[in-house]
Amino acid sequence: MRTLRLQLEDALRNFWRGVRQWSGDSAYETYLACAERQRAPKPLTATEFYVEQLNRKYSRPNRCC
Amino acid sequence: MKRLLQTLIWTAVAVLGAVALGTIAFHRGEPINATWFVLAAVCSYLVAYRLYSAFIAAKLLALDNSRATPAERRDDGRDFVPTNKWVLFGHHFAAIAGPGPLVGPTLAAQFGYLPGTLWLIAGAAFAGCVQDFIILFCSIRRDGKTLGEMARDEVSKRGGLIAQLAVLTIMIILLAVVALVVVNALKSSPWATFTLAMTIPIALLLGVYLRYFRPGRVLEASFIGVALVLFVVVAGQWVADSPYLAKVFTLGGVTLAFTIIAYGFAASALPVWLLLAPRDYLSAFIKAGAIFSLAAGILLVRPQVLMPPLTRFVDGSGPVFAGKIFPFCFITIACGAISGFHSLISSGTTPKMIQREGHARFIGYGAMLLESFVGVMAMVAACAMTPGVYFAINSPASIVGATPEAAAATISSWGYPLSAGTMTGLAHAVGEQTLLNRAGGAPSLAVGMAQIFSSTIGGERLLGIWYHFAIMFEALFILTVLDAGTRVGRFMIQELGGRVWKPMGRMNWMPGILLSSALIVGAWGYFLYQGVVDPLGGINSLWPLFGISNQLLAAVALVVATTILLKMGKLKWIWVTLLPMAWLVIITMTASYQKIFSANARIGFLSQANALAAQIAAEKIAAAKIADTQRNIFNLRLDAVVTAVLAVMILVLLVEALAQWYAILSRDKAPVLQETPYVATQWAEGD
What is the extent of the structural domain holding A7?
2-57
- Tell me the nearest-neighbour CA distance from A19 into chain B, angstroms: 8
Contact B81 A34 (CB under 8 A): yes
pLDDT greater at residue B528 or residue B461:
B528
Contact B81 A30 (CB under 8 A): yes
Q: B9 falls in which pLDDT band (50, 70, 90)?
A: very high
CA dihedral B120, B122, B126, B130 (to 10 degrees): 30
pLDDT mean across residues, chain B: 92
Q: B548 near B646, Cβ under 8 Å?
A: yes
ipTM comes to 0.93
Q: B483 near B275, Cβ under 8 Å?
A: yes
Would you say residue A37 lies in a domain?
Answer: yes
In tens, the pLDDT along B287-335 reads 888 888 888 999 999 999 999 999 999 999 999 999 999 999 999 999 9
Would you say residue A19 lies in a domain?
Answer: yes
Q: B179 falls in which pLDDT band (50, 70, 90)?
A: very high
Q: Which residues contact B19 (CB under 8 A, 6 or more apart)?
A: none
pTM (two decimals): 0.94
Q: What residues in B contact A56, CB-CB < 8 Å?
A: 78-79
Q: Is the pLDDT of residue B668 over 80?
A: no
- CB–CB contacts below 8 A, A to B: 127
Q: Is the pLDDT of residue B416 over 80?
A: yes
Per-residue exposure over B229-258, b if at least 16 CB sit within 10 Å of its own CB, e if not: bbebbeebbebbeeeeebeebbbebeebbe
- Tell me the nearest-neighbour CA distance from A3 into chain B, angstroms: 23
Q: Is the pLDDT of residue B191 over 70?
A: yes
Give Cα B267 distance to the centre of its chain.
21
Percent of chain B at pLDDT exceeding 70: 100
DSSP code of residue B334:
G
Determine what percent of chain A falls in helix, strand and coil, rounding each to the nearest 5.
Answer: 70, 0, 30
What is the distance between the alpha carbons of residues B411 and B386, in angstroms, rounded to a whole number?
Answer: 12
Q: What residues in B contact A30, CB-CB < 8 Å?
A: 77, 81
Would you say residue A18 lies in a domain?
Answer: yes
Cα–Cα nearest to B209, from B273, B288, B163: B273
What one-letter code names the amino acid at B238?
W
Rounded to 5°, the CA angle B91-B97-B103 comes to 170
Q: Could you state, in order of their start, the residue ranges of all structural domains in chain B?
A: 2-189+250-300+314-409+420-665
pLDDT at B458: 81
pLDDT at B98: 85
Give mean pLDDT, residues B637-657: 92
Sign of the alpha-carbon torsion through B394, B399, B401, B406: negative
Q: Is the pLDDT of residue B686 over 70?
A: no
Q: B683 falls in which pLDDT band (50, 70, 90)?
A: confident
HEC string for B350-367: HHHCECCCCHHHHHHHHH
Alpha helices in B302-365 (DSSP H): 325-333, 342-346, 359-360
In tens, the pLDDT along B48-88 reads 999 999 999 999 999 999 999 999 999 998 889 999 999 99
Other CB atoms within 10 A of residue B400 CB: 22
Burial of B499 (0-12, 13-18, 19+ CB in 10 A): exposed
Say how many residues make up chain B: 687
Architecture of the domain made up of B2-189+250-300+314-409+420-665:
Up-down Bundle (1.20)
In chain B, the residue whose alpha carbon lies closest to the alpha carbon of A39 is B76
Give mean pLDDT, residues B433-447: 89
HSE toward the beta carbon, residue B366, CA cutoff 13 A: 16
Q: B441 falls in which pLDDT band (50, 70, 90)?
A: confident
Contact A64 B100 (CB under 8 A): yes
Q: Is the pLDDT of residue B159 over 90?
A: no
Rounded to 5°, the CA angle B265-B269-B273 comes to 115
What is the distance between the alpha carbons of residues B516 and A56, in angstroms, rounded to a whole number?
Answer: 18
Residue B320 phi, psi dihedral angles, 5° rounding = -75, -50
pLDDT at B559: 94
In tens, the pLDDT along B481-512 reads 898 889 888 888 888 888 888 888 888 888 99
Would you say residue A50 lies in a domain?
Answer: yes
Q: What residues in B contact A45, CB-CB < 8 Å?
A: 215
- Tell me the nearest-neighbour CA distance from B481 into chain A, angstroms: 6
Q: B436 near B389, Cβ under 8 Å?
A: no
Question: Testing the interface with B: which of A16, A25, A65 to mutate, by most B Cβ within 10 A?
Answer: A65
Q: Is the pLDDT of residue B687 over 60?
A: no
Q: Which run of H or E residues covers position B421?
A: helix B420-429
pLDDT at B84: 94
pLDDT at B268: 85
Would you say residue A51 lies in a domain?
Answer: yes
pLDDT at B119: 98
Q: What residues in B contact A22, CB-CB < 8 Å?
A: 87, 90-91, 94
What is the distance between the alpha carbons of residues B398 and B437, in angstroms, rounded to a whole number?
Answer: 9
What is the distance between the alpha carbons of residues B218 and B385, in angstroms, rounded to a whole number?
Answer: 38
Contact A64 B222 (CB under 8 A): no
Using a CB–CB cut-off of 8 Å, the residues of A that contact B are 18-25, 27-28, 30-35, 38, 45-47, 49-65
Q: Is the pLDDT of residue B685 over 80?
A: no
Question: Testing the interface with A: which of B81, B96, B218, B476 to mutate, by most A Cβ within 10 A?
Answer: B218
Number of domains within chain A? 1
Write out the DSSP string of A3-30.
Answer: HHHHHHHHHHHHHHHHHHHHHTTTHHHH
Q: A59 near B343, Cβ under 8 Å?
A: no
Q: B20 falls in which pLDDT band (50, 70, 90)?
A: very high
Q: What residues in B contact A36, CB-CB < 8 Å?
A: none
